Chain A
Amino acid sequence: MRELALLVATRKGAWIYRGDAGRREWSADGPHFLGHIIHHLVLDPRDRRTLLAAAKTGHLGPTIFRSTDLGRTWSEARRPPAFPKAAEGEMGRAVDHTFWLTPGHASEPGVWYAGTSPQALFRSEDGGETWEGVAGFNDAPAYRDRAGDAQDGTPDGPKLHSILVDPRDAAHLYLGMSGGGVHESRDAGLSWAPLIDGLEVVAGFDASQWAFHDPHCIALCPSNPDRLYQQNHCGIYRIDRPSNRWHRIGRAMPPGVGDIGFPIVVHPRDDRTAWVFPMDGTDVWPRTSPDGKPAAYVTRDGGETWQRQDTGVPPAEAWWTVYRQAMASDTCDPVGLYFGTASGSLWASADEGERWTPLADNLPPIFAVETAILD
């Protein structure tokens, strides 16, 4: 019988929560890699056996751990993501951490993509055992010089994230850079083009320059791969391909809440439905729940209107941050939603966000939450 699992990556290790059929009872399996910084823990949906964990510690360098038995045993990648050795006299780049993991297309078993900090794209063709840089991105002069180095971008380094594979075409890829904008490849990563029209940037900067853009999270609708939603540093957006223009749909959010946040999650079967978890992006950018009152917001009409979903979460004095990978949906009906906070609480809703219940209160800071169907 298949069961649902939550893959929880934290500042101090990883946990796997296994749920019953009704998503009422959950059992925790963990910690795995206690003390390791786990940025992402992802199950391969093509075999439902292979787990990859992007790991490092405060001291030790970055690596990828692999399990082919759902986390009972782990081994280390033989060649984790790493840049080529620089020529003598040149300042070479070094991967600080792998931030994002994406399984490849269904037609390409064993293929995975990884996004790192400093921002670069890596690909594995053997289930995560060995990784090679995607030269069409990493070495292209336009990207090499402007993707930012370890000291650029967010305090923990710029992040290449939201690597999306078009389910209709293995060669059609999207990615986000924070900062650095949204980019698209139609030739399996050989070449890339920015996809930033319509996106706003911080006042005073030139929106035509992709380096000034800061997508926080991008999601592609499984039910309509031509529709993508984006939570950006400067609002919530939607794009309907083949148009190249994003539209700011976050203007319809309540003014006191705003449309700033990290994560965005889409419905598995309805391309009009998406969820966000707003944060305070005013003043010095506290990045906490606005006014200390956390809530998800859902749109069911493609962003024309938004409804608040806060039943079950603390009504006040909850100064949460939900990071960009830390909110996820399952594929059940009704859809289950899950999020983890930077203060270590894990929450679930079995009814599309109408009511939230806590699954765990005292985990380390949660970096990522993914759902998976286990055999």
Chain B
Amino acid sequence: MVKVAISYCAECGYEPQTLALADSLMRTFGSKLSAIELIPWFDGTFEVSVDGELVHSMRRDGGFADPDAVSLAVRERLAAKASA
């Protein structure tokens, strides 16, 4: 199983993008995820990590995370764990 964490800027009002991404992950992966952690942060942050690996950062990559790209990262992590 894989854990996804989404750290979002609460004062910026990034809740809709955060919830949309969480919703997409829930529907795509269901019980293959061990947890989806939502972390209210600030300072224009929108970060997504998969098992502790940063896969998207607004500061680093610009903009919000593409749900398809996050799903791909989760799939790759699941596949890596399955083959380990």
**Are A and B interaction partners?**
no
Please give the residue numbers on chain A whose beta carbons come within 8 Å of chain B beta carbons, in ascending order: none
